[in-house]
Amino acid sequence: MKILTGKQFMEENSQSQRKTQRDEQLDQLVLEIIDQVRVKKDESLRAYTEQYDGVKVDDVVVSAAEFTEARELVSPDFIDALHQAQENIQSFHENQTEKSWFMNEKDGILLGQKVSPLESVGIYVPGGKAAYPSTVLMNVIPAKLAGVPTIAISTPPQLDGKINPHVLVAAEIAGVTRVYKAGGAQAIAALAYGTESVEKVVKIVGPGNAFVACAKKWVFGDVAIDMIAGPSEICVVADDTAIPRFAAADLLSQAEHDERAIALCITTSESFANALQAEIQTQIKTLERRAIIEQSIQGQGRIILVDSLTEATELVNQLAPEHLQLMVDKPFEEMLSIKNAGAIFLGNYSPEALGDYVAGPNHTLPTSGTATFSSPLGVYDFIKRSSIIQYSKQALDQVAKDIMTLANAEGLTAHANSIKKRRGE
């Protein structure tokens, strides 16, 4: 893992370089997949599943028998852990629920906001390099709390044509029994436009690879999406109170997601930087997903030396990382200076893996610098708000002149006319 100064790092890896670049070849391929699924529906869905996943699928929808089989294939410890995670995730997200509200400050005027759940949501759960039952909980639970009546999951099948049993059990525990055997851009197209087997939804959420992200970009507008996610990121800020073996383990844990994952450490201590570098080399040799981790660390992993925590904070706010770990003497105080980060973990005993599974806050987070303007997935992503306006005749009369003045100033005389008619003019 290279050690650079803050200046060297910014020259090498500027914010503009971190942004996902337009890939015209990928766009063309994904648009072709979307068009084919829209026209040929299940036929294309099955064909692309065979092409990209190497699996022939007869029935796109997971059967009740497959759910039963999945329960028999997972351990009691796994189920217990899922229930614990579910409890924590639900407890946290219950604080995000919104209610309709109304105000009547003046006679004859009622104003308010009506909060309604989305009618249907499709959740994409990645497969391929790993299975993600935690992603099921993180996406389904806030949607349930919002009151979404129809929730479906789409996820790539295994080579045996079945869905990973851990994912199916998580879906059942979370309260979802409609699961589709489809991955990639074809799954996003099916959720966006519907097929014989897949019901169209109004919003698609969940992480995925470049094909999934690209497809979400192109279906946006016909359906809503949560975000266009890039590679996973972790940034550790460390002073001389940080423990090198902990920081190394945390950086490596994020690097195992994907060869393009980004693992950074910003530190004020040169001795810590050297110890961290050595620790990474030691630990990486023992890890099961070593090949993926090594590509990630060699390609994007960096240790960045800065002169002060103030400089570290400034750099963090420029990077706007998905996951930020403050492994410093006074993490809460430093956190107050952070403006841009998806999730912030405080201290030596709050690893990113804690947030991935059981802490409670959502692990679907903004990437690629988008934490400058966006937030973690939450209950608020599964609701919509309608404004409520009611005026009596007397209340309307009091503001009629102002409405007509503004409407005429904009040249919208028919607007002014709608007021005149109510005044008998």
Give the residue numbers marked as catalytic.
322-323
If we measure between CA atoms, which residue out of 188, 116, 185, 184 comes closest to residue 152?
188
Q: How far is CA 275 from CA 137, 271, 348, 351, 411, in A?
A: 37, 6, 16, 19, 70
Interatomic CA distance for residues 202 and 223, integer angstroms: 5
- Exposure string for 133-151, b = 16+ CB within 10 A, e = fewer: bbbbbbbbbbbbbbebebb
Q: Torsion-angle region of residue 41: left (phi > 0), alpha (psi -120 to 50) or beta?
A: left
Element (H, E) at 193: helix 184-193
Q: At what angle do helices 270-284 and 290-300 cross, to 10 degrees?
A: 150
3-state secondary structure (DSSP) of residue 125: coil
Task: Name the residue with tokens 């790092």.
Answer: 9
Q: Are 244 and 276 within 8 A, CB to CB?
A: yes
What tokens were used for 109? 């005027």
Cβ contact 223:91 at 8 Å: no
E strands, 141-288, are: 150-155, 179-181, 203-205, 224-225, 233-238, 262-267
Q: To which H or E segment does residue 167 belong?
A: helix 165-174
* DSSP annotation of 347: S
Residue from 248, 99, 104, 82 nearest 169 by CA: 82
| CA gap 247, 234 in Å, rounded | 11
